[in-house]
Amino acid sequence: MKTKDAISRLSFTISKGNKPNDSDKAALNALIKFVNKSDEEAVQEHSCFAKLYTLILADFVMHYKDINFANKALNKELSYPLDYHIEVLRLRLKSIEMNEFFKSNGIAEEYIDHDVEKSVIRVKENIDILPKINISEMNEFEEAWDIENVTAHLKRNINESLITYKNV
């Protein structure tokens, strides 16, 4: 049964308040088959997105220990604009670079922390080294991870991955 015919059949039965019969069951099954086929085609067409969604969902499930909450959290992340995620990436790259810079200057590893109190303690522990820091060197990684640079590289990497893995 064609999808349009299945919809017409079920519409007729429901609008008349009739009890469903075998034709209605066949119509419902045709619609279910159509939806399943559409879902499969969409996943195949967007296989890279499907792979990434699955990868992130698996990580979220391990983090939250609840598939429904993990799925909601992932969808919430997807609701944010791409620029938001690019900025998060930029800040994380900058943080890694800053930690490497401080480490190479003799300051404890993981100097910068999202926990302000821990960061203040690290500053106090390393106060004697701080005056020896070359500020111009420190500014280099600031410039290396500007938003335009991160965005351009990210888009290039995304496009290369899409081209390479589109049909894999």
Per residue in 149-160, pLDDT (tens digit) is: 999 999 999 999
Residue 76 is encoded by which pair of tokens? Answer: 């919430």
Mean pLDDT of the chain: 85
Place of tokens 């410039």: 143
Q: Where would I find the H helices in the chain?
A: 3-16, 22-45, 47-64, 67-79, 82-104, 116-125, 135-144, 147-165
Domain ranges of the chain: 1-43, 46-79, 82-165
- Mean pLDDT score, 132-159: 83
Per residue in 49-98, pLDDT (tens digit) is: 999 999 999 999 999 999 999 999 999 999 999 999 999 999 888 888 87
